[in-house]
Amino acid sequence: MGYRTKTLGLFGFMLIFMVAIGYLIGGYFMGNWIAGTIVFLIIAAVMNLVSYFYGHKFILKHYNAKPIKESDHPTLFNTVREISYEADIEMPKVAILPMSIPNAFATGRNEDNAVVAVSQGLLNILDKEELKGVIAHEVAHIKNRDMLVMSVAATLAGAVTFMARMVWWQMLFSRRRMNPVLLIAMVLAPIGAIIIKMAISRKREYHADEEGARISKNPNALADALAKLERSNQTNPLKKQNPTTSSLFIVNPFARSAFVNLFSSHPPIEKRIENLREMAVDFSYL
């Protein structure tokens, strides 16, 4: 099954999940499950629109990203230009994050608004070919509109969590007898939404690795870069930022939790590297 089919399947499951929550909320508080579902979906749609038009600006400001010109960092700027040409997309804007932790991300709702942001720490430890591999990975995200997909996934998950909390407080202070089914649903709903969001994120990362390796024509360089970034980020994880932004980055910059696989925004780094090494063997025959 292709990654697009799997992603659509996960989104479909998320929508069904939301309708089910709307059904329970509407039936319990409004006496009409259709009204509950519609209200729930309208809230999610509004949140999606805000995320679609302004999400990339919030993220760049959150991480103090500094837009650059070619004269500010010729190597980085020209690498983005070269990789964008190979990927047949408009060159995105380029920004540097004032972070010693080596990492990178892409953001923006489409090619016209896209930004590739890399940290100063990444520029300090990667060679030219490794940098090309990382940029190709991020350009692949832009080409496939993964930022939009993940914004929608994050917003849907956020809507589920928001509604669950709202219903929880209403039930807590209401004189009505608590509905056990609704109570269980409100506890499990945010967990389920996060699991689905993270599953979508992992699928997109696998595909961006594969597409980025094809664009850069050097799977081993991207594999080497991932190994370097993983070691650095786990030795010195990011601590003063919001962990919910972890799915933006090429590797998870935050310390791992106890539920690494189920709640991780990224696939296991060993598996990603293994896939790229296998691609490199295929490339050697071309």
Tokens of 235: 């030795």
Q: What is the pLDDT of residue 214?
A: 95
The string of pLDDT tens digits covering residues 186-236 is: 677 777 777 777 877 888 899 999 999 999 999 999 999 999 999 999 898
Enter the pTM of the model: 0.79
What is the pLDDT, as a whole number, of residue 112?
87
pLDDT of 2 above 60: no
Q: Which domain holds residue 82?
A: 3-283
Task: Give the model confidence (pLDDT) of 59-109 as tens digits.
Answer: 899 899 999 999 999 999 999 999 999 999 999 999 999 999 999 999 887
- Helices 128-143 and 180-216: crossing angle in degrees, nearest 10, is 130
pLDDT value at residue 163: 67
210 is catalytic: no
Q: Which member of 138, 205, 210, 230 is catalytic?
A: 138
> How many domains in the chain?
1
